[in-house]
Copies of this chain bind each other. A is one copy, B any other.
């Protein structure tokens, strides 16, 4: 999807929140990050997806702080918190009649762990919602059919600790070979190869670097290998709003699993903010995006 005009005020808000998160108390730095973010906005091409600006903002923050991976500590802490929830998630899945549906819901719940669009996430609240509410997953039968026909699956990861939740979905995709794509460099709290290994994704799936240095999957900057896998793998599952924003009009069918985190994506998916969403999109005739 192209950046919508409503994304622009949100960029400035996210820049301020991120600057405060990374360098608490340094108001002069916060102001510089805001000023540089604002200065970059007029140069943003009309067809850029929102994560393109995410990359610019977090590049500014890296330059201003001199810290290459300012979320390293937070990612470790989120992994710790998510791991502590695994027994509870196991119980939830075991008690559900439909294991795939349960695994999809767990994977979507994990998408709450977001320090970009959703920095105030509450994992405990998310667990209560997972356990207490049915999700409207109208595209689940389509995913099931696609799984039946697919001999391998590409799953594109999103936030770091979210991958702990994604393992429940990967388990349902086995014994098909699963490729798990990660970002090519640290960006916000998104997952990179090192973290995917730390979590143990490599014991269930083959980790591939997407080549994308932004909080999403920018195919124009993908590695040739990833681009080939993306085009040729029969089933692609993409986690999170950043992957939705970059792949919603990529030209092939993708199953997006995400929590809706802003009014723009709520309008595009037709689902209210905060909703867990499984949506079949990506080909230009589905999920039309201006």
The answer to whether B16 and A34 touch across the interface, beta carbons within 8 angstroms, is no
Q: Does A8 contact B (CB under 8 A)?
A: yes
Q: Does A171 contact B (CB under 8 A)?
A: no
The answer to whether B9 and A5 touch across the interface, beta carbons within 8 angstroms, is no
Q: Does A6 contact B (CB under 8 A)?
A: yes
The answer to whether B42 and A27 touch across the interface, beta carbons within 8 angstroms, is no
Question: Given contacts A35-B41, A39-B38, A41-B38, are A6 and B12 in contact (CB under 8 A)?
Answer: no
Closest to A4 in B: B27
The answer to whether B41 and A8 touch across the interface, beta carbons within 8 angstroms, is no
The answer to whether B6 and A9 touch across the interface, beta carbons within 8 angstroms, is no
CA A10 to CA B6, docked complex, whole Å:
12
CA A6 to CA B38, docked complex, whole Å:
14
Chain A interface: which size bin?
10 to 19
Q: Does A221 contact B (CB under 8 A)?
A: no
CA A5 to CA B31, docked complex, whole Å:
7
**A1-32 interface mask toward B, CB cutoff 8 Å, 1 = contact, 0 = none?**
00001101110110010000000000100110
CA A16 to CA B263, docked complex, whole Å:
15
CA A38 to CA B39, docked complex, whole Å:
6
A30 cross-chain contacts in B, Cβ below 8 A: 5
Closest to A27 in B: B5
The answer to whether A16 and B6 touch across the interface, beta carbons within 8 angstroms, is yes
The answer to whether A34 and B39 touch across the interface, beta carbons within 8 angstroms, is no
CA A42 to CA B36, docked complex, whole Å:
7
Kindly provide the distance from the CB of A32 to the nearest chain B CB, expressed in whole angstroms: 9
A42 cross-chain contacts in B, Cβ below 8 A: 35-36, 38-39
CA A226 to CA B36, docked complex, whole Å:
38
A39 cross-chain contacts in B, Cβ below 8 A: 38-39, 41-42
A13 cross-chain contacts in B, Cβ below 8 A: 9
Interface residues of A in 188-206 (CB under 8 A from B): none
A10 cross-chain contacts in B, Cβ below 8 A: 9
A36 cross-chain contacts in B, Cβ below 8 A: 42
CA A100 to CA B39, docked complex, whole Å:
49
Of the listed residues A6, A8, A16, the one surrounded by the most CB atoms of chain B closer than 10 A to its CB is: A8
Q: List 11 A-B contacts (CB under 8 A).
A: A5-B30, A9-B12, A9-B13, A9-B16, A12-B12, A12-B38, A35-B42, A38-B38, A38-B39, A39-B39, A39-B41
Q: Can you list the 7 inter-chain pairs with the closest CB atoms, starting with the nearest? A: A35-B42, A9-B13, A38-B38, A38-B41, A9-B12, A12-B12, A8-B34
